[in-house]
Every structure is written in structure tokens, then in C-alpha cells.
Chain A
Amino acid sequence: MRYFLQRLLQFAIVFFLVTFGVMVFMRIGMNKPGDPARTMLGGLVPDDKAAAVNKQYHLNDNLFSQYFFWLTKMFRGDFGISVQQNVTVANYMKGRVLVTFFLGFYSLLWALIIAVPVAVYQAYRRDSNFDRAGNLFSFLFVSLPALVLAPFIIQLFVIRLGWFPRISEKVMPWQDLGAHFKNFFLPVLVLTLPLAAIFSRLLRADIVQTLQSDFITLASAKGVPPSRVLWTHALRNSLFSLLSSVGVQLGAIVGGALVVEQYFTMKGMGALLLTSILSKDLFVVQSVTAIVVAVVSLANLLIDLLYAVIDPRIRHARALT
């Protein structure tokens, strides 16, 4: 319980600091101190309109009360408005959240589906040709940024083979399952490959180490079949590092989604973030960042807690550092 509260407090501190930091940061260098309304409106407003927006969103107050104003609204579910586009941030995000969710979900899923068996088998047959090939491939994909990977994938699958559309529509599974997968396949592929490489390397190393520890040796000596030792004992033991790695990668997936959405012209949260940061759409940047930070941190928190519940040793180990 104490651990839970401690972690929750930690999350709260980070969340408030980051969101406040982003807000302050977005205000620095505005063309006129305390007049972000005009910037937010794209510069194109008569004085009275700018004044009205400033007043409506308390943009001329000091930073703390501005933050408080934004935060209370946020907790009440009002994410503000994109003054540039005349839509509420909630409406702006509607239809985009799911795109990024599916991108992240599929790529995580596939990365794990690929990485776990490969890593386990690699560890089991250490230094075999399979292990070496696996190592080499994971090295290759870790070293390939999307910038390099995506053009070649597009060239091959879209332009040469014509199997997939050039721009990926956001078709949802309940609309048309076939089209859904057709549209999501390539973006997910670009996200999955490096992710799978990272996971498999991590997992392999972990299992190799576990396999050398005493309790595994003991289990083997007791006559537990090797496959059982591998899949239940060793893998379960290595699960924590894998899980926490998944947690850390969530942030990277958001970044990856941003890039991939650009390549395939998918209109997801990443694309929204990019647009709003470049066009200085304050409330959109603030609210979307807050949501991203909250989701990523909460997921990490959840992973930690989950594991702490399963394995009490973690609680103590973590509490020490």
C-alpha cells in the first residue's frame, strides 16, 4: 500500500511538472507577453477578438492561475478549444485517438509475438546458427530508423507490388475488417520491426542469465523437462524486465506513430501533435501532451504495481532505490 501511494505521488508530481512545464514553454517567446490569443488565432484577428479570447481563457492571468484554470477544466473533461481551427480539442481528437491506439496496440502485439518465441529459442539454442542469425537481424533492425525503413517498404509494397494503398485510411475493424488490416499493415510493420528487435535482444539476454541461475539448474536436476524449464520458469522470471521495457517503449511508440503517420498520411494523434506544435495551437498542444504523458506514465505505473502485486520482492527492491 505504501509503495502504491509512493508511486502514485511520484506520478502526480511528474504529471503536474511536465504539463506545467509544457504550458510555460509554449508561452515563452509569444509575440507579446500575456497575449498568446493572437498567436493562437494565427495572428489574424482584430484587437477586440483577441481580447475576447484572452479573457475567455484567462490568457492574461499569471501563469499559475492560467494553469489552474486549464487543469480544472481538463479534469472536468473540457480539453479546451483549438482557436485556429474552431473546433474543441475533444472533437479534434475524436477519430484520431483510435488510429494511434491501433497502431500502438498492433505493433506492440506483433513485436511481442515475434520477439518472445525467437528470444526463447535463441536462448535455448545459444550460439547456434539460429541464435547468430537472430542476433544479427535484431542488430540490423535496431540500427534502422523509420527514415531508412519506410521509404524502402513503400517502394516495395506500394509502388512495385501495389499490395497496399499509398495513404492509409483510418478504417476501423467494425467498419470493414479486411480494409482495416490492409490500411494498417504497413505502418504497423514499420513500427514493429525495430520494436521486436529491441524486445528480443532484451529477453534473450535475460533468459540466458536466468538459465544459469541456481533455481533453474535445480529444476533441471529434478528432471523437469527442458521445454517446461524454459517456458515456465525462465520466461516467467524474465517477464518483469520485458514488461518494464514495454512500459518504457510506450513513449517511443508515440514518437514512432508520429513519424509513421506522416509517412502514410494517417491522421492520428501524432499527426495532430506535429501540426499543433508547428502552428502553436496552445490548448491542443497542452491537452494532447497531457493525455500522452498521462497514458504513458499510468501504463508504467500499472506495470510496476501489477508486478509488485505478483511478486512482493519487487516492492522491497524498488523501494530501496
Chain B
Amino acid sequence: MTTAIAATEATRDAEKVKPARKQRHLGWMFGTAWLVVLSVCALFANQLPFIRTYDAKIKIAGKAKGYNFGPGWTAWLGTDNSSHDVFARCIYGARQTLIIGIGATIIGLTVGGLLGVIAGYYRGWVDRVVSVIVDCLLAMPALLLALLLIQRTDQIKETITALGWLTRTEEITVTLGVLAIAPFARIVRAQTLGLRERDFVLAARSLGAKSQRVIWREIMPNLVPAMVTVAVTGLGILIAAEGTLAFLGLGVPRPQTWGTMIDAARDDLSKAWWATMFPCLFLFLTVLSFNFIGDHLARKFDIREAAV
């Protein structure tokens, strides 16, 4: 996960000399356009006339059959194994997928960002403690950590009934959020280390400003570009990770995410390619868009040191 972020940022290239701007612009403009259209559709899915409801079934002569329509005028992207409209489901899936992805990113960014800032600013033993936490989180392969977290939460919920309200969706969001903590903390810490020695921070400190104030007023605002960049790239990775969890049987059942949709239909590729292909396409284009935008932002804000 870290390296994926690192890789994106690494493409910053330090190449102000001879940029091939056209292609890059195409990339991030496409990404933004796709995300805007998708978000609008997802937000207003209930209102937009061309999107069927989540549970709408398209029947033939009053009978629902699995995959009864291929892509076409009736159902743009065909129907799934319960005769639901794949297009509509992809849109509702976008809503669910984005909620999970954004939720997880917020968790990761808040906790990881906070840890990173504190470690980077105070250094010393605080830094060491945070580093150990981060190292521990990173020592476990991410997927392994996710599996453990979800499985254990399920069982803990059984024992501690007070946690019964926690839904599978929230469990997955939190789990993905935890996965994001360590990489975010690392990057933010590195950024903070750099900022800490900058003139304006030193000036504020020498004027006797309290640490808290320095962090909130001076450091935080300057961290925003890096955080946004990392968040955008991370979002793409988290969405892909959610799909992987769905494959391992730990997906979100309802409303379906793209991951759950792909997993439900992937074995019927030869019968109904559309039911797998289109959610794959949505997932792919979205992850790609986040990568494009992340790449663009990384170049723009010149955040490379964050990677290593």
C-alpha cells in the first residue's frame, strides 16, 4: 500500500524542463470528469429518471430469469442474476463504494495524520513510540491485518452485545481505515519534519507560540496539499482493497458495492459477461481516476520526499 502511494508520487519526475503536458492533462481531466459524473449520478440516483430503483426487476412475460437481458436499450448494461438492472446497481454501488472508501480515508487520515504530525513535530520519544506503532502496523501484510480485524470484530460483537449496532459496512470501513493509518502517518510525519525546520515555523516558535498553536496554525495548513494528494491516491487503493475483501467473502451484502457485484457474477463470465465486466469497468475507471488525479496533485504540490 505504501509503495503504491510512493509509486504514484514518485512519478512527480522533477521535470519542469520538458513536460508532456497534453497526456497528463488528459489523464487528470478525464479522472475529474468521470468522478464528477459518477458522484452526481450516485447522489441523485433516486431522483434521476434514467436510473431504475435498486430493487427494480426487469421481467420477461412476468417471469424473472437470471441474466435475461444483455446490454441494450431495455437495460443499458444488461441485467444481473436476479434480473436487476446492472447500470442502476453500478450507480448505487458507486454510492456505497465511495462511502466506504471516503469513510476509511477519513479515519486513516485523522488518526494517521494526527500521529504523523505529533511524531514529526515533537520528535524524541513521542516519535519513537509512534514509529513503533507504525512499524507494527506495517509489519503485518495489510490483507492479513484486515482479515484478522473483521473476523475478530464479528466474534467480539457476539460476546459484547453493546457493539451489536455495528454493521458489516461499518466494520469494513473501520478496517480499511485502520489499514490506511500507518502509510498516512509515515507520509505526514515526513512532511512535518520538513515543515518544522522552515522559517515561518521557527519564527512562530521563537515568538513563544504554544506547540498546539504552532501545529494547528502553522503546520496543519501546510500539510493540506500532501494530505489531499495522499488521500486521493489512497482512496483508489482502498476501493480496490474493498473488492478484494468481497472476494474473500467479507463483502458488503446490501447495497452491493462493485466488489460484491463482481464477486457475485465473476463465475458466469461466459454466460453474461456484462454482469462482471461493467462493475469491473466502474471500479477500474474510478481507481484509475483517483490515480490520475493523485498523480497530478503530487506533481503540482511537489511532494516526493513523502514517499520514502
Contact = CB atoms under 8 A, between A and B. Distances in A.
Contact of A28 (B156, B270, B280): B156
B269 A151 contact: yes
Contacts of A249: 3
Given A201-B10, A201-B11, A145 B243 contact: yes
Contact of A296 (B12, B141, B156, B247): B141
Nearest to B138: A251
Interface string B146-180: 01100110011111100000000000000000000
A280 B248 CA distance: 16
Contact size class for B? 35 or more
Given A198-B3, A248-B2, A289-B144, A10 B135 contact: yes
Contacts of B288: 139-140, 143
A262 interface: yes
Contact of B20 (A21, A29, A132): A132
Interface string A71-99: 00000000000000000000000000000
B248 A145 contact: no
Given A127-B20, A148-B243, A262-B247, A255 B142 contact: yes
Contacts of A51: none
A159 B159 contact: no
A53 interface: no
B3 A146 contact: no
A17 interface: yes
B14 A208 contact: yes
A291 B291 CA distance: 33
A129 B189 CA distance: 38
B236 interface: yes
Given A18-B140, A206-B10, A251-B141, A143 B152 contact: no
Most buried by A among B139, B276, B308: B139
Given A18-B139, A147-B243, A254 B144 contact: yes
A274 B248 CA distance: 9
Contacts of B160: 29
The interface residues of chain B, by DSSP majority, are classed as helix
Most buried by B among A14, A204, A241, A256: A14
A11 to B, nearest CB: 9
Interface in A4-23: 10, 13-15, 17-18, 21-22
A248 B246 CA distance: 24
A277 B148 contact: yes
Interface of A: 10, 13-15, 17-18, 21-22, 25-26, 28-31, 126-127, 132, 135, 139-140, 142-148, 151-152, 155, 159, 198, 201-202, 204-206, 208-209, 212, 241, 244-245, 248-249, 251-252, 254-256, 258-259, 262, 273-274, 277-278, 280, 285, 289, 292-293, 296-297, 321
Interface of B: 1-4, 6-8, 10-15, 17-18, 20, 23, 27, 132, 135-136, 138-144, 147-148, 151-152, 155-160, 193, 236, 240-241, 243-244, 246-248, 259, 262-263, 266-267, 269-270, 276, 280, 283-284, 287-288, 291-292, 295, 308
Given A29-B156, A252-B141, A262-B247, 14 more contacts: A25-B148, A26-B152, A29-B159, A139-B291, A140-B288, A146-B247, A147-B246, A198-B7, A206-B10, A208-B14, A209-B14, A241-B308, A251-B140, A252-B142
